[in-house]
Structure 1
């Protein structure tokens, strides 16, 4: 049966909004559609690159991490604005406590099990490596190990990205405090971070020829900060009412298609120098309209619908546990996994990843999330950033005048 293309275009609006423009500014308790779906997509890309595809295609997992970084920057910055809107300040102590309760329980359980298995097998334990994971400098240590020819003893390789995110969590609220919660000032700061990070990558390549052939730039926080800052940039844009026309364009089909084409094209250039310098910038910019589209618009309604399906949202909810545990599956079960045919081996790796992640989520992560809700923000506790009176209305044109 033939379908009139005009009817099809009417049934699939390219510029309709999933969230009304008046609801774009951050508010406490606000549900943001498609974010869990994006997390699910990112972690599935990571699993695809690490467990399924051949090692020559492991780069697909890097795209999953880029989405993770982008979503983290967007969500955390948005939470800053929501708290400032509701209470007029940002409670620094409460923020850090929430991050600790959110991240450490799963990490502690994972490391405890890995260390127990390693001890039972009579293997060595590098306490410095364990400390680097717990105190979030593993990304620097593993990059250094590659340079000197060492390798980690424990299955903690994938945890380097947690260090990059934690460094963002450490400095972002301080920047918000210093800038008094101004969306425009925060926007300028994110632009400065993105520019400085790109220049720093070029500087590293200039002063250290050959570094682009290592994972040094890929894993260092100061050279990957823009991957998170682009998400923070979008969170700032939606707070400023006069800039909403930019967000509307970014949420449309045209911007989504352009972003997708630019992103795919960036993989066609295989030069290591490009991959470790300009490609991070190009991919970060290309991902912004893709994030903006599925969160604030409906460039392709079927995609929005897919990202909000129950099973997809569930994978997104357990994505942190999936990411942590998938790196240890082979270590924990190598004694019988390698005795199986390849296809069955891969299937069981995926199945075991989700079984352990689900157990981790329901037994460890969810109870910890309930505990996190007890960490309330109160004006009388902890260091706070008091927003200027005119910044309490974060959508007001007056808020960008100063």
Structure 2
């Protein structure tokens, strides 16, 4: 076995040395466009037109894994280690304030309704369990055991999946990087592949416990829990897609820069295939068994095709579709996507009964009004809740190298020379990849600094 001290970066399976990630405008634009689609989907405006919208979440998951892993490797490259305290502090400042503000207001409103109009809560189920589960970031586990009785803030399941990823993955990666051997790299990669294979197998083998009525899931064990149903619901949240994004980051760092033409052509072809599969699921998930959520062969293939799609947006930022997604207005919404995703469901709740009982123009009008109010609530969250904590995150808990780059950009200090300010200076992108509601929404995701 090669000694860790003698092992060069080129000899390792997980390559650390590579150009800095930088800002990816098309990622922001994707978040902005598709978080609006998530809101419209849950407002009933586009639910029948785009029944496969849950796959939007999977893109957000892949992007989260890719971004966070790349950023952690960047930190390892420039400083020789990963500051776990700073990482977790930055994540908490990014995610907790808006999340707990939403849960707090939701809880107060539900208590008020229970006191003054208890009959209105007949369909709310165990809403207090939902508040507790979301607060502890275990919502998707609780939902696996109570499929018929929760759902008022069901969109928080994806946020809990990502938060658990943020907690465990940096420690695993740091441990492997600290050991610095091919064996440690290999064990981590094999573990990721086993994790992915396990969840794919569970989804496909237990798909029989769920049927789809239009776009609504019906679980066979809804009245009497079975282990198959519980396991399927845990597998159906697709945490393996975040791990796919982590492996995509490993692959990206092994691609030489500048990217050779033949590699760029392969990425372009595979990226186009990813877009075709993504669109196929969006349009036909409830129309063709091949794309049935979440255990069909077609759906699994579409999930894996998201990896080259993400790599294509990263490596070919000059492509037509990447430039289209980088539209400044789309990026603007993308930078506010976390709050929009968090708040749109609580805002939609009072409208859902009226929307479901309406038809035609009335249904469309109610859905659009409710969706617009949900988006506005998210924008207010960014302006009055998130932004002040983001300021603290970027001023007090930024890596010394990044702080130096910011000062250089402002003209406060001189260029320190090669090796200290590696790569372009990017403005701090206050962004999180969106996540789903009841299987279809944006995620909190990662901003482009850990």
TM-score (normalizing by structure 2): 0.67
Matches of 2:379 and 2:304, distance apart in 1: 33
- Do the aligned partners of 2:203 and 2:235 also contact (CA within 8 Å) in 1? no
- Do the aligned partners of 1:73 and 1:229 also contact (CA within 8 Å) in 2? yes
- Do the aligned partners of 2:61 and 2:245 also contact (CA within 8 Å) in 1? yes
Identify if the C-alpha distance between structure 1 residues 299 and 108 changes in structure 2 by more than 3 Å, giving closer, same or farther.
same
Matches of 1:34 and 1:54, distance apart in 2: 23
Structure 1 match to 2:209: 210
- Do the aligned partners of 2:140 and 2:237 also contact (CA within 8 Å) in 1? no
Structure 1 match to 2:271: 256
Equivalent in 229, 236, 259 of residue 243 of structure 2: 229
Matches of 2:354 and 2:270, distance apart in 1: 48
Matches of 1:222 and 1:74, distance apart in 2: 21
- Do the aligned partners of 1:26 and 1:79 also contact (CA within 8 Å) in 2? no
The alignment partner of 1:328 has SS state of helix
Structure 2 match to 1:10: none
Structure 2 match to 1:156: 153
- Are 1:171 and 2:168 an aligned pair? yes
Structure 2 match to 1:381: none
- Do the aligned partners of 1:164 and 1:220 also contact (CA within 8 Å) in 2? no
Which segment drifts farther, 355-364 or 280-289?
A: 280-289
- Do the aligned partners of 2:236 and 2:294 also contact (CA within 8 Å) in 1? no
- Are 1:375 and 2:394 an aligned pair? no
Q: Give the number of equivalent residue pairs.
A: 346
Identify if the C-alpha distance between structure 1 residues 224 and 335 changes in structure 2 by more than 3 Å, giving closer, same or farther.
closer
The CA RMSD measured in Å over matched residues stands at: 3.4
Equivalent in 302, 318, 322 of residue 283 of structure 1: 302
In structure 2, runs of 5+ residues without a counterpart are: 1-16, 212-217, 220-228, 401-450
TM-score (normalizing by structure 1): 0.74
- Are 1:81 and 2:73 an aligned pair? yes
Q: CA shift at 1:55, angstroms?
A: 5.2
Cα deviation 1:91-139 (Å, max 9, x = unaligned): 2222222211111111111112222222222257754321210111111
Matches of 2:90 and 2:333, distance apart in 1: 22
Which segment drifts farther, 161-170 or 195-204?
A: 195-204
Identify if the C-alpha distance between structure 1 residues 251 and 280 changes in structure 2 by more than 3 Å, giving closer, same or farther.
same
- Do the aligned partners of 2:202 and 2:232 also contact (CA within 8 Å) in 1? no
Identify if the C-alpha distance between structure 1 residues 275 and 112 changes in structure 2 by more than 3 Å, giving closer, same or farther.
closer
The alignment partner of 1:238 has SS state of helix
- Do the aligned partners of 2:43 and 2:368 also contact (CA within 8 Å) in 1? no
Structure 1 match to 2:370: 349
- Are 1:46 and 2:38 an aligned pair? yes
Structure 2 match to 1:15: none
Matches of 2:267 and 2:314, distance apart in 1: 8
